[in-house]
Amino acid sequence: MSHKRNLAQEELRDRAREEIRKGRLPNSTPASIWAGLGSGLPCAVCGHAIAATQVEYEVGDPSSTGSFRFHLPCHTEWQVECGVIPCDDSTPTLPGG
């Protein structure tokens, strides 16, 4: 089997994990999420601007009045790191480590 994984996806997940570890992103999903078109502001995971032609996910920061913005794939990888979406690997990361 030579199933080739999407490198960009792994990189995004690594970045999301790193941001959570540094405390820049929450490790749980806030209740409020908005989806819309990009506002040109940087993505919280990859740091690139979200163009008006791209889907932007905006998530309220539970610890402040601010919010985080994500590209759709970046948001997905962050959700995986939060444990909301099951990882596509066969070994899910368990909390407490």
Write out the residues near Zn ion by the rule CB under 5 A.
Answer: 43, 45-46, 71, 74
Residue 70 host element (H or E): strand 67-71
Burial class (CB in 10 A: 0-12, 13-18, 19+), 59: buried
Which residue minimizes CB distance to Zn ion?
A: 43
Cβ proximity to Zn ion, 59 vs 74, nearer residue: 74
To Zn ion, the closest distance from the beta carbon of 94 in angstroms equals 26
CB of 25 to Zn ion, least distance (A): 12
